[in-house]
Structure 1
Amino acid sequence: RSMASGGGIPTDDEQATGLEREVMLAARKGLDPYNILPPKGASGTKEDPNLVPSITNKRIVGCICEEDNTSVIWFWLREGEAQRCPRCGAHYKLVPHRLAH
């Protein structure tokens, strides 16, 4: 039996098994059951804040402020209204997240 349907190198679909396959299939549907995919970017404005999932009512957030920054600005994000990064002013909002298990 050939490793790939065309006889060449198998595709990710043909090769993936277990958790890798489960995550790949969920990602196609726009789901992230284990919260391992990169977050979807937002504009970071008050009207469109960066959404930060959390299972508690607060979480530490790191903002790099600018693309080529070498330091991270860490601050506590609490449940409720969107909050701003103390340095660059980007907005972040905590959203409830339920674990898959």
Structure 2
Amino acid sequence: MFLQRSAAAVARRAPVRAFAKVRPFTSSVARFDSKLDKPGKIVSYEEVKTEDDLLAPGAKPGTIPSDLDQATGLERLELLGKMQGYDVFDMRPLDASRKGTLDNPIIVNSAGDEQYAGCTGYPADSHPVNWLTVSRKRPIERCNECGNVIKLNYIGPEKDEHGHDHHGYEEPKTFADYVRPEYWYR
């Protein structure tokens, strides 16, 4: 009787596929793009001129690809820069050896319209991270906790290359919008 119960329990738990000869239907989609018809080539950081230079050649058949063989786009640009000794995205931490003031703020470089910077206070790690947002319209921001001041140094193109006004985006209102004009920093 014990064997009958255990055999029945095993049969209930066994997958149906084990007993039926059913072949599952699968399909795959292949995407063909005219840019990807020709394999990329490995170029140095200085030779990168267009987006097509950032396409990867891929690995030779039968080999395992390295990061450089398969990275494309911005990741490939970063790898090529690091191989030449350039830090493309300037990933160094901000200056934490001093406290930023309105006269001498901590400088944050950005090629975009806005940048986020985390303030941990002065001396470093004296309070939890407060994320501050600086933009081209509002380039100076002050930490609410410690009073540290950061300033955006815009290093991107002067005009908007893709020719639109960011779809009417307005920055959200903050308490700084309600401060009297004579108290504004310039």
Alpha-carbon spacing, 1:69–1:44, altered in 2? closer, same or farther (3 Å): same
- Highest Rg: 1 or 2? 2
Partner residue in 2 for 1:96: 154
How many aligned positions are there?
75
CA root-mean-square deviation:
3.0
Q: In structure 2, what residue type is equivalent to 1:82?
A: I
Distance 2:103 2:111 in 1: 23
Partner residue in 1 for 2:125: 68
Which one is further off, 70-79 or 34-43? Answer: 34-43
Runs of 4+ in 1 over 6 A off after TM superposition: none
Which is helix-richer, 1 or 2?
Answer: 2
Give identity over the alignment, percent.
24
Pick one of 84, 87, 99 that aligns with 1:22.
84
Alpha-carbon spacing, 1:55–1:43, altered in 2? closer, same or farther (3 Å): same
Structure 1 unaligned spans of 5+: 1-17, 24-30
Q: In structure 2, what residue type is equivalent to 1:68?
A: D
Partner of 1:88, secondary structure, is coil
Distance 2:89 2:128 in 1: 28
Q: Which has the higher contact order (CA 8 A, sep 6+)?
A: 1
Is contact 2:112-2:156 (8 Å) kept?
A: no
TM-score (normalised: structure 1): 0.53
Which is strand-richer, 1 or 2?
Answer: 1
TM-score (normalised: structure 2): 0.32
